[in-house]
Structure 1
Amino acid sequence: MLWPYKTPGIPDDLFERLPGIPLSKREVRLLLISALRLKQDSVVWDIGAGTGTIPIEIGLLCPDSQVIAVERDQDVVNLIRRNCDRFEVQNVKIFEGQAPDCLDQLKPLPDRVCLEGGRPIKDILTEVWQRLKPEGRLVATASNLENLYLISEGLAALQARNIEVVQGAVNRLETKGIYQTLAAVDPIFILSGEKF
């Protein structure tokens, strides 16, 4: 087994990647998964699943959960499938579609949602929120101030409760020539809210 541990935090280099396809860095995944507050049998939608790192981590951590990874591009869908196979994850369903148009086709309805990008972000947020079960949690990422504002404004308009915004500062040790230096991982905002 490629990742035989019961903890999240799979090293980035264990995932197959494609040029230009985003990968949530290990430290960011840890924050995202923590913000989701998963239950053993959660139904999780990951909208904009990219390389598939979040669905795979959740699938391994909560084998009784159902995870639906949504991506719009067939090559990326195939990448997620290959990564699921690499980690022998059985509880991730991969759906090819463009959010928010494809959301009516996703079943079952989620009690947890991870929203990792997409345009128009505010429309996707609103449509996902309508399908989120009561007492569900939504976690969204923003890598720029515009999306931070749109997601914050959207959560407020939807009357989300217990809204949290975290911007973690992560640095990794890298060797450059004869020196070891700290290099910043791209900063990202993680926003979360609950539906009641």
Structure 2
Amino acid sequence: MHTQLWPYVTPGIPDDLFERLPGIPLSKREVRLLIISALRLKSDSVLWDIGAGTGTIPVETGLLCPKGRVIAVERDEDVASLIRRNCDRFGVGNVEVIEGSAPECLKDIPHQPQRVCIEGGRAIKTILQEVWQYLPSGGRVVATAANLETLYSVSGTLSELQARNIELVQSSVNRLETRGNRQTFSAVDPIFILSGEKLD
């Protein structure tokens, strides 16, 4: 059920509607739309979002999949609480927040994922290898990379896992901002978005 804060079925909630904590990453709206598109969700999808940060992806996907379930994995207790508060802000009731470090905590999640989103992280190769074991045939994984090292790590791991239908998109977004009495364009940090499917 949508709240008045965002009464639309369209994804792309403005960044400033989310509660934030200093230093905690937030997937920018335009990047978020690309991630959601790559996930190819259904109304009843089960999604694991690993490294959920501010909780923008869990909120958006929770609204898009009213019959589904979103598992948000976050190791920091304060950040996990932030995700819960943002879910409450938007009336999202199908998000479960798991406090723990991936990949160690993944074995304790009772719901098998059909989709997995991995938002950066130092152990992204290990996490990707681990979640692959839980994905069914036809399952999809989407991972983000903010630098070349992570990009090479994810692309190499998807190749090792023999992922199919691999796609790679790099965002290039500029937003109009008002500075003083002028309007200028400001670039949103580019992010690589990689996706692939597990097909037996």
- The normalised TM-score by structure 1 is 0.99
CA RMSD of aligned residues (A): 0.6
- After TM superposition, the structure 1 = structure 2 runs for residues 40-59 of structure 1, keeping only pairs within 5 Å, are 40-59=43-62
User: Which residue of 1 is the match for residue 183 of structure 2?
Assistant: 180
Match for 2:97 among 94, 98, 102? 94
Kindly indicate whether residue 171 of structure 2 is the aligned counterpart of residue 168 of structure 1. Answer: yes
SS in 1 for 2:104: coil
Q: Quote how far apart the aligned CAs of 1:97 are.
A: 0.4
SS in 2 for 1:102: helix
Q: Once the two structures are superposed, what CA deviation does each residue of 1:66-119 show, in whole Å capped at 9, x if it has no partner? A: 000000000000000000110110100000000000010112110000000222
Q: Once the two structures are superposed, what CA deviation does each residue of 1:120-159 show, in whole Å capped at 9, x if it has no partner? A: 1111110011111110000000000000000000000000
Q: Once the two structures are superposed, what CA deviation does each residue of 1:36-80 show, in whole Å capped at 9, x if it has no partner? A: 000111000000000000010011111111000000000000000
User: Which residue of 2 is the match for residue 104 of structure 1?
Assistant: 107
Is contact 1:173–1:181 with CA below 8 Å preserved after alignment? yes
- After TM superposition, the structure 1 = structure 2 runs for residues 1-196 of structure 1, keeping only pairs within 5 Å, are 1=3, 2-196=5-199
**Structure 2 gap segments, 5+ residues each:** none
Count residues with an aligned counterpart.
Answer: 196
Q: Once the two structures are superposed, what CA deviation does each residue of 1:2-30 show, in whole Å capped at 9, x if it has no partner? A: 11100100000000000000000000110
How many percent of aligned residue pairs carry the same amino acid?
73
**Structure 1 gap segments, 5+ residues each:** none
Is contact 1:99–1:118 with CA below 8 Å preserved after alignment? no
Runs ≥4 residues deviating over 4 A: none
Is contact 1:47–1:99 with CA below 8 Å preserved after alignment? yes
2-side partners of 1:133 and 1:118: how far apart?
Answer: 23
1-side partners of 2:25 and 2:165: how far apart?
Answer: 28
Equivalent position amino acid for 2:129 in 1 = T
SS in 2 for 1:110: coil
